[in-house]
Structure 1
Amino acid sequence: MSKQQLSGFGSTAIHAGHQPDPNNAHLTPIYASSTFTFDSAEQGMLRFEGKEPGYIYTRWGNPNFTEAEEKICALEGFGIADKDGDRIQLKALLHASGQAAMTTMFLANLKAGDKVLSHFSLYGGTHELLHRVLPPMGIETLLHRLDNADELEQLLKNDPNIRWIHLETPANPTLQCVDIEMICTVAQRFQVKVSVDNTFATPYLQQPFKMGADYVFHSTTKYLNGHGTAIGGVLVGKDIQAMNTTVLKWYRLLGGNANPFDAYLLINGIKTLELRMDRHCSNAMAVAEFLDKHPAIAKVNYTGLAHHPDHALASRQMRHPGPMLSFELKDGLEGGMKFINQLSFCTKAVSLGTTDTLVSHPASMTHYGVPRELRIASGITDGLIRMSVGIENIEDILNDIANALQ
């Protein structure tokens, strides 16, 4: 496919990254090969030295990885120009999971004595990685409210060991949002890198690189794949030199690469991202409005509602509030568990981003490993319910919710 910038996001999702197959297959075949051959010893040497492009070993790269990586780069960079006015250049590395992508990102960029600054309300796996895996390596994590530029500047000025800011916006599962552009602007003055977990929003709803982010990563398991058929993750960076050297070396040595079949499923899922997200989002808005008026509901976390504290911010940095929401029943934990048990149409499962509506209980599921006091401080209460709103007919979703709330 031509490297020209396509005019539409949907067209880019379908065509970007694809190269003609030598056997004229319409879609890129699954390259289920652990290794790749050389024409000569000299060619093998050149490839290992990085002086000739080509594949060597699937842990290092694979044609299926390449297509998925280039497609995601095209979407994250869609319509974004660099400082010279040219199309922004990005590099992606496809991983076996979002956790693997995050691990590569942190270990490739941080050393003992460095600190990570982040905010409250993070995905449980992210919280545990930051607070249980990195500390024994001498890397500390600090959690603060990151909603004030002056306070952030003071934090960075007072602690030069803060070398990284990690953001998750909208956050899991409270849907809290942080101002990416403000944080990146302050961070750049102190040469602090900023990474953004863009899993909930996808590049269709939010483009962190446009707002100054250095790294973006996804659990591709979710909306990018869109069908719940494969686990995966991707790390995208704008420092091409670092991505092609230090980060690439850690990626290969940690062994967190994807596999060809899951990459193939991801490629095909991404092609319908725009269509799916439009339906996910319109359904989520309808569900949020329904819940917000229901007498059994104490609180709805959805930035599309005008009374949400981050409504204005989300409206500014996102195309749409998104497909995720969470809510608290007035009966707390007991009411939440009863609600889940009485659902008959919506699916009771963790994860998110599939075509069907998924409902889960974060305190006992996705965030069970987070200490209760930290969980409560982050707004993840015992009775909080998280919902990934699917693309079914909205009447069926609403009817099931209404019946479960009776």
Structure 2
Amino acid sequence: MSDKKMPLTGFSSLAIHAGHTTDPNYAHLTPIYASSTYVFDEAEQGMRRFSGEEKGYIYSRWGNPTISESEEKIAALESFGVTNHAGNPLELKAILHSSGMAALSTLLISNLKSGDKILTHFSLYGGTQDLVERILPPLGIEAIIADLRDLNKAAELMKADSSIKMLYLETPANPTLNCVDIEALTNLAKQYNLIVACDNTFATPYLQQPFKYGVDYVFHSTTKFLNGHGTAIGGVLIGRDIEKMNTHVTKVHRLLGGNSNPFDAFLLTMGMKTLEVRMDRHCHNAMEVANFLEQHPAISKVNYLGLHSHPDYKTGAKQMRHPGAMLSFEMKDGLEAAKKCIDNLQMCIRAVSLGTCDTLLCHPASMTHFSVPKEKRELYGITDGLIRMSVGIENVQDILTDLDQALQ
């Protein structure tokens, strides 16, 4: 059998085959390497591996074959069709973590120090907002939060404060689906030598590739669409500076201890194989649902990037393949109506999280964003009558029927 590998030209082909190496026992799928440590042929080999002179596994907190496949697959998907400044295929390094918050912690701690500031925007995931507003300030790192859809305001903030070292984007944002212009903001940030990081959880690399626009890091909660089945918690940090990722960022990751595990990595790898076909169905269903909800008399507003009524429709269309599977909608009668709608569901699921095959609905103000003060929530558009919906891949008519009866 030839050792040569043909270049893969399709996203789904990469999602299935990227990162896979032949198992020594010729297993079709990479096994779950349930081993905490790895043996050396001799003491000298162990010394060479610890010094970095020889590649090889040492300890599963530092690396594991099952985890490596997931990392390489995600890096391949985020770089698919993207070139570097020299016009060559972009190379990326991914580090899998035990959760999205663990990956975010590695990103922030490996790039920021006391006295630095991070510039970000309204309507972040509740955990992210808590981290930047409650955990970072005692470490001497301040967050500046602004509406970054206003490029003039973004430029004004960057110019006025040299302590700003990182621009952190989450687009589409949770749960209002606000969308910021990755390319324009990255170009602006680079004028002030800022590190740019982007949370790509809602979009996935199938719908959006931030590295195409020059960002330095991409972050995912792999728990969501990448896994796709709600079977494992995980997070990943991907970076374009390979040397920094292999040295300083890897060191921070290992010392913080937020490593993934072989079983969750295996589940993630299996989930990513169907990413393209799942996302196509998710997006098709979400568009149907959004159109239905926009016409419903019980609803005052629908936040979905596929609707022309969304203020960021053009930005989403510019940088995303499809508008995505996430939406939120505002009940005319507020909190009580939102509770009744959620309670009346018969097929769709009452649960937080997102990105699973089944449709999930939750109440952000009392659930995912409960720790955000009410005045801030309302400023960001997260009102008591808002319901967030992760549209699944069920038969779309069944989703619509369930929503219709729940809204009666």
- Normalised to the residue count of structure 1, the TM-score between the two structures is 0.99
Shift of 1:54: 0.3
| Aligned partner (choices 80, 104, 108) of residue 106 of structure 1 | 108
Question: What CA distance in whole angstroms lies between the structure 2 residues aligned with 1:86 and 1:347?
Answer: 45
Shift of 1:148: 2.9
Q: Following superposition of structure 1 onto structure 2, how do residues 120-269 of structure 1 map, counting pairs within 5 Å?
A: 120-269=122-271
2:341 matched residue in structure 1? 339
Question: What CA distance in whole angstroms lies between the structure 2 residues aligned with 1:123 and 1:149?
Answer: 22
Q: Following superposition of structure 1 onto structure 2, how do residues 258-337 of structure 1 map, counting pairs within 5 Å?
A: 258-337=260-339
Shift of 1:151: 2.5
Shift of 1:150: 2.9
Question: What CA distance in whole angstroms lies between the structure 2 residues aligned with 1:173 and 1:188?
Answer: 28
Shift of 1:111: 0.2
2:352 matched residue in structure 1? 350
- Normalised to the residue count of structure 2, the TM-score between the two structures is 0.98
Q: Secondary structure at the match of 2:371?
A: coil
1:405 matched residue in structure 2? 407
2:90 matched residue in structure 1? 88
Shift of 1:4: 6.1
Shift of 1:62: 0.4
Question: What CA distance in whole angstroms lies between the structure 2 residues aligned with 1:44 and 1:185?
Answer: 45
Shift of 1:2: 6.4
Q: Residue type matched to 1:71 in 2?
A: K
Q: Secondary structure at the match of 2:119?
A: strand
Once the two structures are superposed, what CA deviation does each residue of 1:175-194 show, in whole Å capped at 9, x if it has no partner? Answer: 00000000100111111011
Once the two structures are superposed, what CA deviation does each residue of 1:2-31 show, in whole Å capped at 9, x if it has no partner? Answer: 676411000010000000001010000000
Question: What CA distance in whole angstroms lies between the structure 2 residues aligned with 1:191 and 1:356?
Answer: 42
Q: Following superposition of structure 1 onto structure 2, how do residues 384-403 of structure 1 map, counting pairs within 5 Å?
A: 384-403=386-405
Shift of 1:50: 1.0
Shift of 1:341: 0.5
Structure 2 CA distance for partners of 1:269 and 1:235, relative to 1, 3 Å: same
1:56 matched residue in structure 2? 58
Structure 2 CA distance for partners of 1:4 and 1:207, relative to 1, 3 Å: farther
Q: Residue type matched to 2:153 in 1?
A: E
Unaligned runs of 5+ in 2: none
Question: What CA distance in whole angstroms lies between the structure 2 residues aligned with 1:38 and 1:7?
Answer: 38
Once the two structures are superposed, what CA deviation does each residue of 1:314-339 show, in whole Å capped at 9, x if it has no partner? Answer: 00100000000000111111100000
Deviates more, 1:5-14 or 1:321-330: 5-14
Q: Residue type matched to 1:374 in 2?
A: K
Unaligned runs of 5+ in 1: none
Across the aligned residues of Structure 1 and Structure 2, the Cα RMSD in angstroms comes to: 0.9
Q: Report the count of equivalent residues.
A: 406
Question: What CA distance in whole angstroms lies between the structure 1 residues aligned with 2:162 and 2:5?
Answer: 41
Runs of 4+ in 1 over 3 A off after TM superposition: 1-5
Shift of 1:153: 1.9
State, as a whole percentage, how many aligned pairs show the same letter.
64
